[in-house]
Structure formats: C-alpha cells, structure tokens
Amino acid sequence: EADIYQTPRYLVIGTGKKITLECSQTMGHDKMYWYQQDPGMELHLIHYSYGVNSTEKGDLSSESTVSRIRTEHFPLTLESARPSHTSQYLCASSDFRSSGANVLTFGAGSRLTVL
C-alpha cells in the first residue's frame, strides 16, 4: 500500500509559469528525495532532505527548489517553467538509519509537460 502521495499526477503548462509539485508521506520517514526521470534514462537525484529544515541539492543540477517545513511534506517548486523541464518527477522517502540497504518508497510520480 503506497503511503506517499504526489499531486498533480499530470500537468501541462505554458512557459514561464510557476509550478509546485506536492509530495506527502504518512510513514513518518525522516529522509525524502526528489528524482527526475526521462523515458529510457536513469533516475537522477535532484534534491534530498534528511529532516525538517534540511535540504540539499542532488547529483543532477536543477533549477527547482524544495522546502521541508514539516516531516511529512516535501514540495518541489519551479519559479519559471521551461520546455527543458518537461520530465517525470518522482518523490521518495525512507527511514534509513546507518546500516542495511536504504530502501526507498516512491510515489506514483508527477509528469510535467511545459509547452
């Protein structure tokens, strides 16, 4: 049962618009992540957070920003969308501590198309 929710699932917008992709999890996980994925390509980590008021940029440079004001909520914002931002955005969370595999639980994704 998926306990991590992303909205909207699909979004088509014009260039220059500001958009926020919502991500919420009900599992109480400390760690949350945003990945970007294009068809046939690997998932690229663009942002992550290890707790409230903690955010870091990932391995792939992104013009988006994130915030973590509450444990369960990790929204991603694009101030001015461009066609190059067209992609699928996947949110994930985990309760990883310091040992074992870091198993991420993913949301269903938000597919963004910028015209």
Partner 1 sequence: DQQVKQNSPSLSVQEGRISILNCDYTNSMFDYFLWYKKYPAEGPTFLISISSIKDKNEDGRFTVFLNKSAKHLSLHIVPSQPGDSAVYFCAASAAASGSRLTFGEGTQLTVNP
Tell me which residues touch partner 1 (CB under 8 A).
2, 4, 6, 9, 33, 35, 40-45, 48, 50, 58-59, 90, 92, 96, 98, 100-109
Residue 24 Cα distances to 31, 64, 95, 101, 105, angstroms = 12, 18, 14, 22, 12
Within the chain, how many helices (H) and strands (E) appear? 0, 11
Residue type (1 letter), 35: Y
For residue 70, list its beta bridge partners: 73
Q: Name which of 59 and 79 has its Cβ closer to partner 1.
A: 59
At closest approach, how far in Å is the CB of 107 from partner 1? 5
Q: Name which of 14 and 40 has its Cβ closer to partner 1.
A: 40
At closest approach, how far in Å is the CB of 90 from partner 1? 6
